Amino acid sequence: MSDNNQKNDEEFRRLLSRLAEGSLDKADAEVLESLLINQPERQALYLETMWLDASLIELGGVHNSAPELKVIRAQRKYSFPFSGWALTAIALSCLVVTVLLTFPVFEQRKQFAENESAEQAVESTTGRKNHDELLSEAILIAGHRTVLRGSSSPISIGSRFRFAEHYMLQEGLIKILFASGAEVILSAPAQFQVVDNEKLAVNLGNCSVYAPAGAEGFEVTTPTSEVIDLGTRFSVEVAEDGASSVSVVDGEAEVTPLSKSQKRTLFKGDSAYVGTDLHILEGGEKPQVDAYVASIPDRLIAYETIQDKLGQAKELSSLTVQRGGVSRTYHRDDFILPGINHFRPQTNVFGVVPANSPPDEFNRFGSMNLLFASGFINPGGQKDYFEGDFISGKDGTPGMNIVFDQPVINSPGPDIVIFDAQSIAHSLEGDVFHLYPHSSHPNAHPATFMKYDIDGYSADAQFMTGCRLIHLSQAFAEDGTPLPKFGRSQLINRVPSRMFAIGIDLDDMNIPPGGSITGLFLQDAQDDKDCIDPVVIVGLPPVK
């Protein structure tokens, strides 16, 4: 590179930086314009910088609570009439396609310049308006063990999706409701965008569509096809190369390759495959078995708590659980509470008590309560299932024995809910554990639980109130309760924990419908160095 070109590059970068800061005057703009002529690399860098700058402006409008970004939205000062437009016109000569993709960015910059004084006066109002314009009418109405990623903001139940944003469903299922009433269930892994209020782009994964009367015309696009609903239930599966398979469960749908070379109307039981050559193969390239997902599985949906002065969860107050496809809410008077009569820990820390409890407080056998900072933690366990009879006492079977104050009956969906107090220093997935049912049913068997309904990926996992950790001594009470080292159990734990939760279906332990259990034996699965902290456990009444 010649010295002259190097100096020009340095000057170009300096002026580009000043443009992004909003401090470029007309003379400097003319110099910047000259440095862009016949310079594809500089033009590309210019467009990239303008795109990033506009994205930061947008982020500043949406996330006004993040001062560390230091995004200044209403103080841009352009003393020349063309700001970015003249420069963009030059870049268009070599980068037409790129400019077309980034055209909205320059419109946004122009709008900011024209409304400088108005924005400063009504900054918060304008920010909310711009934010709302980016939001679609498509709402996330349900999820099951979901890990969902967006590029701008977290998504939780009740949230509206942003237009054209790339969302990646890494795990689980989600259900989206569109304005017309069309419902879509996406199964992980899936990458998608809400194109408009009645159009979904699926670039990878499986989606199942139900379009009731009035939702005809809802559209799903893929990298190879367009599928228009004509009043139906259908599924679309998109492979990594973009090839798509469509199966109609009920009603009819219209399938068109992006080449527009063909068009097919599919009826109940029909399927079609559109390959990367953009041709339709009727009947599909492979049979789609159970591709259509009709509903989100029964699960724990949410929990409500009594909170302390800091807004942290102190005590369980209610649960919302889907059972038999119906959302049901249970309050504290509905819960079937258990008691503990055996506990053998895995570590020297075996319990938690509220931070403000008396100095001599520790965990005892007997009835469990609904306080999160009050329970046995770190039960022992093993990788493989325990075989034989459980032994109580200080030298008994590692784990904890749970006895309900009345039988828990197997109804549709979750019958028991277990909360795990999970330190933020540990896994976002929660701790794996085994459950052994106490039941007279001959075919009952243990089960291992690995996925929580509400875990560290969920916005619904609340922080637990302050607590103290109880350290184990070598002494035991007459009933076998571990006794603490009081001198080591007085410090407040400074590492926050969140309350993960999982709904347990007795079907998983082969309890027949209408059958019951009187209790459970719980063991950590020893899959890693961390142990489950089951501080709250409740049974649910049978579905009537």
HSE, side-chain direction, 13 A CA sphere, residue 17: 6
pLDDT above 50: residue 300: yes
Instruction: Specify the pLDDT at position 131.
Output: 52
Q: What is the pLDDT of residue 127?
A: 45
pTM to 2 decimal places: 0.71
CB-based contacts of 433, cutoff 8 Å, min separation 6: 381, 448, 449, 522, 523, 524, 525, 532, 534
DSSP string of 26-37? Answer: HHHHHHHHHHHT
Rounded average pLDDT over 264-270: 93
For residues 9 and 440, which has the higher predicted lDDT (pLDDT)?
A: 440
pLDDT confidence bin for 50, thresholds 50/70/90: low
- Measured CA to CA, the distance from residue 544 to residue 539 in angstroms comes to 15
Alpha-carbon distance of 372 to 125, in angstroms, equals 40
Per-residue pLDDT for 470 more than 50?
yes
- Residue 36 has what pLDDT? 79
CA pair distance 144, 301, nearest whole angstrom: 8
pLDDT higher than 60, residue 286: no
Mean pLDDT of 472-485: 85
Task: Summarize pLDDT for 373-426 with one digit per residue, the tens.
Answer: 999 999 999 999 999 999 998 889 999 999 999 999 999 999 999 999 999 999
Q: pLDDT-based confidence at 65, cuts 50/70/90? A: very low
What's the CA gap between 433 and 451, in Å, rounded?
A: 10
Q: What is the pLDDT of residue 476?
A: 86
Helix 26-36 / helix 83-92 crossing angle, nearest 10 deg: 10
Task: Look at residue 512 and tell me whether its pLDDT is greater than 90.
Answer: yes
Q: What percent of the chain has pLDDT over 70?
A: 79
Closest CA to 414 of 322, 327, 333: 322
pLDDT for 141 beyond 50? yes
Question: What pLDDT is attached to residue 514?
Answer: 97
More confident residue, 425 or 55: 425
Is the pLDDT at 8 greater than 90, yes or no?
Answer: no
What pLDDT score does 487 carry?
Answer: 66
Q: What is the average per-residue pLDDT within 302-310?
A: 96
What confidence tens digit (pLDDT) does each residue in 215-248 have?
999 999 999 999 999 988 999 999 999 999 999 9
Q: What are phi and psi of 275, to 5 degrees?
A: -85, -175
C-alpha torsion 10→97→80→51, nearest 10? -70
30 versus 449: the higher-pLDDT residue is 449
> 178, 176, 239, 182: which is closest to 206 by C-alpha?
239
Mean pLDDT across 531-538: 97
Per-residue pLDDT of 322-338, as tens digits, reads 999 999 999 999 999 99
Strand order, beta sheet including 536-539: 497-504, 416-423, 536-539
Over residues 87-124, the pLDDT tens digits come to 444 444 444 333 333 333 333 333 334 333 333 433 34
Distance CA 519, CA 102 (A): 62
Residue 32 has pLDDT above 60, yes or no: yes
Whether residue 492 has pLDDT greater than 80: yes
Q: Which of 311, 317, 308 is nearest to 355 (CA)?
A: 308
Q: Is 252 exposed, middle or buried (0-12, 13-18, 19+ CB in 10 A)?
A: middle
Average pLDDT, the chain: 83
Exposure string for 441-480, b = 16+ CB within 10 A, e = fewer: beebebbebeebbbbbbbebbbbbbbbbbbbbbeeeeeeb
| Better pLDDT: 504 or 94 | 504
* 151 pLDDT more than 80: no
What would the pLDDT profile of 163-198 be if each residue is shown by its tens digit?
989 999 999 999 999 999 999 999 999 999 999 999
